[in-house]
Structure 1
Amino acid sequence: MRPAFFDFRHDIILNFNYSYYSPLGHVALNPDNIKLVFGLKIKQLRLDRALSLNDLSQKSGLSISYINEIEKGKKYPKADKIISLAHALGTDYDSLVSLKLSKRLEPISELLSSNILTELPLDIFGIDQSNLLEMLSDAPTKVSAFIGTLIEISRNYNMSVEQFYFSALRTYQEMHDNYFEEIENAAEQFLSEKGVDGSFILDEAYLIAVLRKTYNYEIEQIDKIAHPELKAVRSLTIPQPGGPRLLVNGSLTPVQKSFIYGREIGYQYLKLNNRLYTTSVLEADSFEQLLNNFKASYFASAIIIRRSLLIPKLKEFFNLKIWQPEQLLGMIDHFNTTPESFSYRVSNILPKHFGINQIFFLRFNNFAGQNKFELTKEMHIARKHIPHSVKDEHYCRRWLSLTILQDLAEQNQETKNPVNTLCKAQISKYADSGEEYLMVSFAKSSLNSPNPNVSVSMGIFLNEDSRKIIGFLNDPDLRLRLVNETCERCTLFDCKERMAAPTVLQRRHKNEELKKRIATLLNSKLNSVSL
């Protein structure tokens, strides 16, 4: 007869989440992960003792199929079977049921004890969690080493949980070409239900009326004297009985406020209950909150910049034979939006409705008069394009994203009537690959505020398909410029804009020469031996 104490421990382990303290905080392992941890330990012990499944089956008296199910984390055996496995593996019961994994499997343990697997909805990436757990159990040591490498990389780059969520969200957008038909349809259904005229552009007054009448919102301006800590907050939504209370920063423009109101409507209409309550996405407690904020924001863009109105305007623009930036600036004014929101909305539309799916989006910050540029937002569709974020290197100073900020600062320094928004384009040809992109950039001035100037840019890869659609590519006034990735990787040694020596390139060439020299020496040695 087995001791009742073992039965009691078995029930405790399987019927409750096992909570303990880890370096990541106080966490809980759910029953599926407890099974996986147990299975990993069984498999690793079996491999360490050079036992086959058949060997362990004979030693323990358990069937091969049952042991296989245990190792894959699908079964958790009763106490008497755990005792049999412990004897067969030369260990004890307590060691087997302990949640502590060996040092080699610590990275898997850290992954399981984090909230990533539970909070990140793997299904949106087409991953079934049970299949993922089975993959972990198939080759635990190798998978553990791989996970350990990813963890080490994230630590070296100071990647926080929030940054991981941002990366996952960006991947999700890129997987779908940043176009979501279900949200587009929901936006059109909303407009239809509200009886919005086909050509009417939603403005601040209309959106406020919807929030108040349909969703019982109380909308107030943030009192910066009573609440100075909220000075930098764009908006704050406070849940309360009867309807939410929305506090909005009074320093925002009507266009910025319209987007906030549209996003609030998106939260309500799409029934996104797990949400962010401030405009700071860094406050996200889970990936679901970040994802829902994206969905609500997408909805706002879709009702303010309606695809039924945007598509014909873009077709008309692409049919132009001459580059005309005033056409784009006119569209931004027409849709009552900002250059960033407009550019991002265009990135939704191009892949689906124009077949242009190799594009990227960038946002840079720069303080006027400074030669320092910070990449604050990026998105790539179809593949990882250049430019993209690179740590501790100098971005090519020939990129339009950067030169337009310098042009904006210079123009505003020389005139008494500062320019608020600048729009420019160029064809960027990459020196190493020869690939060409149509770059369209907007630079927006912070004017008298302490904030940096901002540029938002869209790059369209120029291949056979995109060249057929964009009519003004042969405009002689559209500048073609040779560019590269970063100064540290650049082969353009006579570049006047260079900010740093090509150290990465030099190191690469040095390593290649060393490899060639070693290969030559090895070949000569082998030839002498054969003689």
Structure 2
Amino acid sequence: MQEDYIKLIFGLKIKQIRTAKELSLFKLSKITGLSKSYLNEIEKGKKYPKTDKIVLLAEAFDVPYDELVSLKLDKNLAPVAEILQSNLLKEIPLELFGIEERDLIEIISNAPMKVNAFISTLIEIGNNYNLTRESFFLASLRSFQEANDNYFPEIEQSAKNFFKQYAINQEGELISDELMIEILKEEYGYEIFFEDFKNFSKPELAKLRSIYIEEKKHLYINSETDLDQKRFILAKELGYNYLELKERLYTYTWISFENFDQLLNNFYASYFAGALLLPEDELIAKMNILFSEDKHDLKNFLRLFGSYTESPETVYQRMTNLLPKHFNIKDLFFLRLTTKVGSDNYKLTKELHLNQQQSPQANETEEHYCRRWVSLNVLKQLENAKPEDENHLISSQISIYPYNNNQKYYVISSATRDPFNPEYLRSVTIGLLNKSAQRKVKFLNDPSIPIKEVAVTCENCGMKDCTERVAPPKRFAKDMHSKRLNVLINDFIKEKSQ
């Protein structure tokens, strides 16, 4: 990268000076005696000339030799140099989207000033919205999932191969904890320990579900973890090993990551875990039965959840894998929100938007999510629920977005308490665009489903007399003011032009 960097910086300087002196490649070629194609390769950062040729260029430009070979760029190109030297291009997962690093370098070479403006804009946006490196990588991962409709056939097939190799019947027979532990021990040399992390010398570790020590192949699972999460941890470890994923995260939930490959492989291993715990063909059959019902009844969802030992979140996420591929329902979203008992603050901790619509970013902008969302209401219901109902509450509604072409979504949400901290509640939600889902989901025509007009945030909502509003519609008001002002300006121009 250092060699490429030197070539590119030199090429940028040559092109900048040549352009400033109003010299075409043809003219520079005539002055220096160097071929036009060779000069073009230099400017693109593909070639670095020898000393005698640099002397010719310095004389043609009437600049000192040392200034020409210096890696220092003027202020207009300095941000581009910083980006290149920071190794950012190495960190961005370009290959996921079919982009070669050289492609970006050539774009920078062709229009350095415009690229500089673009990079500076991205940095400014990132600073304004408190976007971190973690946020950037998570956004890249979500984009990768969306580009593939969140369905990865090669991993589905790997899970099916796994079932065959270990003689597991996928129809009705769930993979047992004992078998997963046995495979991890016998096939991959694991030692597995179930311990109460509160007894560790570091009390901060108590809220972790698991820790993996790679050197010893020791897997520590917090004994306070729910059964469904223990199963997910075991299945995910099988995913790391069976898919031969080297770069990995070592804790669940993860705390930080060193590079994008760790984040991506964590997703692959998690996807494999979902495919093991909720086999594709079996879940599709159950979803077909659920969707064939004429009447909307949340008990049908509860029965589906109850047929597995996995958490509602795992089932919801697995459904986001299968709905686009097998039911052609691609306009959907998934959300996970958390709140503290007694608080009116909600934090979005996970999201996926295959429809490229409603993408809430209130975490970064400190805005307030719409209190008419079913995912927030079910959390309040759980907070006020009787002890016998506290394990899992479920609710649904048709959400209409009046400020987004009146788009209608069927939204279903489940709320549970955090097993490690009962003071915190979490809801997981899946939303299906009614228009695309009605052909496959019969019960969506049931008039008994509650209907509510919703927005994304209070700040961006123009609903009048909303009793659930917790913040003034300042962004909406600003947008409306700008639109009205544009209309007045256009009317004025039209009037004076007559």
TM-score of the aligned structures, taking structure 2 as reference length: 0.94
Letter matched to residue 176 of structure 1: N
Q: Distance in 2 between matches of 1:309 and 1:202?
A: 13
Is contact 2:225-2:419 (8 Å) kept? no
Task: Give the 5 Å matches for 1:77-156.
Answer: 77-156=49-128
1:50 aligns with 22
Q: Distance in 1 between the 2:85 and 2:313 partners?
A: 38
Distance 1:450 1:81 in 2: 72
The counterpart of 1:191, out of the listed 153, 160, 163, is 163
Unaligned 5+ segments in structure 2 are: none
- Hey, what does 2:381 align to over in structure 1? 407
Q: Tell me whether 444-453 or 256-265 shows the greater mean CA deviation.
A: 444-453
1:509: which partner in 2? 480
Quote the offset at 1:462 in angstroms.
1.5
CA distance in 2, matches of 1:170, 1:523: 45
- Residues 400, 454 of structure 2: 8 Å contact kept: yes
Question: 2:74 is matched by which residue type in structure 1?
Answer: S
Cα distance in structure 2, aligned partners of 1:40 and 1:466: 52
Shift of the alpha carbon at 1:185? Answer: 0.7
- How much has 1:524 moved relative to structure 2? 4.5
Alignment partner of 1:342 is 2:315? yes
Give the letter for the 1:271 counterpart: E
2:210 to 215, 235, 253: 235
CA distance in 1, matches of 2:451, 2:320: 23
- Alpha carbons 2:413, 2:429 under 8 Å: kept: yes
Go from structure 1 to structure 2 and tell me whether the alpha carbon gap of 1:393 and 1:184 turns closer, same or farther (over 3 Å shift).
Answer: same
In the alignment, what sits opposite 1:19? none
Give deviations 1:249-272, integer Å, cap 9, x for gaps: 121012101111111111111111
Give, in angstroms, the shift of residue 315 of structure 1.
0.5
Q: Is the counterpart of residue 468 in structure 1 residue 439 in structure 2?
A: yes
CA offset at residue 332 of structure 1?
2.4
Percent identity for Structure 1 against Structure 2:
41
Partner of 1:161: 133
**Is the counterpart of residue 251 in structure 1 residue 203 in structure 2?**
no
Distance 1:448 1:109, change over 3 A: closer
Specify the SS of the correspondent of 2:130.
coil
Query: How far is the alpha carbon of 1:168 from its aligned partner?
Result: 0.8
**Structure 1, unaligned stretches of length 5 or more?**
1-28
Q: Write the letter of the residue equivalent to 1:328.
A: F
CA distance in structure 2 between the partners assigned to 1:195 and 1:384 by the alignment: 40
CA–CA distance in 2 between the matches of 1:63 and 1:405? 70
The change in CA–CA distance for 1:469 and 1:249 in structure 2 (over 3 A counts) is same
Give me the whole-angstrom Cα distance separating, in 2, the residues matched to 1:301 and 1:239: 23
Cα distance, 1:136 vs. partner? 1.2
- Mapping for residues 345-494 of structure 1, pairs under 5 Å: 345-381=318-354, 383-386=355-358, 388-390=360-362, 391-411=365-385, 415-432=386-403, 433-446=405-418, 449-463=421-435, 465-494=436-465
Q: Give the structure 1 partner of residue 233 of structure 2.
A: 260
Distance 2:442 2:223 in 1: 42
Tell me how far apart the structure 2 counterparts of residues 480 and 520 of structure 1 sit (CA, whole Å): 39
1:11 aligned residue: none
The one of 279, 288, 292 aligned to 1:306 = 279
Structure 1 residues 132-158: Cα deviation after superposition (integer angstroms, max 9, x where no partner)? 211111111011111110011112222
Deviating above 3 A after TM superposition, structure 1's stretches of 4 or more consecutive aligned residues are 516-527
Give the distance between the partners of 1:297 and 1:192, measured in 2 at CA. Answer: 20
Structure 2: distance between partners of 1:484 and 1:290: 31
Q: Does the Cα contact within 8 Å between 2:207 and 2:420 map onto a contact in 1?
A: no
Partner residue in 2 for 1:270: 243
Q: Is the 8 A contact 1:404 1:422 kept in 2?
A: yes
Q: Using the alignment, how far apart are the partners of 2:57 and 2:408 within structure 1? A: 63
* 2:295 paired with 1:322: yes
User: CA shift at 1:280, angstroms?
Assistant: 4.3
Once residues 307 and 201 of structure 1 are traced to their aligned partners in structure 2, the CA distance between those partners, rounded to angstroms, is: 12
Q: Please tell me whether the aligned partners of residues 200 and 206 of structure 2 are also in contact (alpha carbons under 8 angstroms).
A: no
Q: 1:71 aligns with which of 20, 25, 43?
A: 43
| CA apart distance, 1:328 | 2.1
For 1:526 and 1:173, how far apart are their aligned partners in 2?
Answer: 51
Does the 8 Å CA contact 2:226/2:419 hold for their aligned counterparts? no
Distance 1:182 1:286 in 2: 23
Provide the C-alpha distance between the structure 2 equivalents of 1:157 and 1:496, rounded to a whole number of angstroms.
29
The match for 1:519 is 490
Contact kept, 8 Å, 1:263 with 1:297, in 2: the verdict is yes
Contact 1:35 1:74 in 2 (8 A): yes
Q: Which residue of 2 aligns with 1:15?
A: none
Cα pair distance change 1:52/1:373, threshold 3 Å: same
How much does 1:317 deviate? 0.4
Preserved contact between residue 72 and residue 138 of structure 1 (Cα < 8 Å) = yes
Could you tell me how far apart the structure 2 residues matched to 1:76 and 1:399 are? 59
Distance in 2, matches of 1:456 and 1:234, equals: 19
Structure 2 residue identity aligned to 1:338: S
Shifted more, 275-284 versus 70-79: the winner is 275-284
- Displacement of 1:193 after TM fit? 0.6
Q: Secondary structure at the match of 1:274?
A: coil
Using the TM superposition, give the Cα deviation of residue 125 of structure 1 relative to its aligned residue in structure 2, in angstroms: 0.4
Deviation at 1:511, TM superposition (A): 2.2
Size of the aligned set, in residue pairs, is 492
Q: Is the contact made by 1:233 and 1:279 (CA closer than 8 Å) also made in structure 2?
A: yes
Q: What's the offset of the Cα at 1:475? A: 1.9
Cα gap change, 1:121 to 1:502, in 2 (>3 Å): closer
Contact in 2 for aligned 1:204/1:254 (Cα 8 Å):
no
Does the CA contact (< 8 Å) of 2:368 and 2:470 recur in 1? yes
Task: Let me know the Cα RMSD of the aligned residues.
Answer: 1.8
SS at match of 2:251: coil
Q: 1:208/1:431 Cα in 2 relative to 1: closer, same or farther (>3 Å)?
A: same
SS at match of 1:281: coil
Match for residue 13 of structure 1?
A: none
Q: 3-state DSSP class of the match of 1:103?
A: coil
Once the two structures are overlaid, the 10-residue window that deviates more, 272-281 or 511-520, is 511-520
The one-letter amino acid paired with 1:235 is S
Task: State the SS of the aligned residue for 2:207.
Answer: coil
Q: Secondary structure at the match of 1:506?
A: helix
Question: In the alignment, residue 474 of structure 2 is paired with which amino acid?
Answer: T
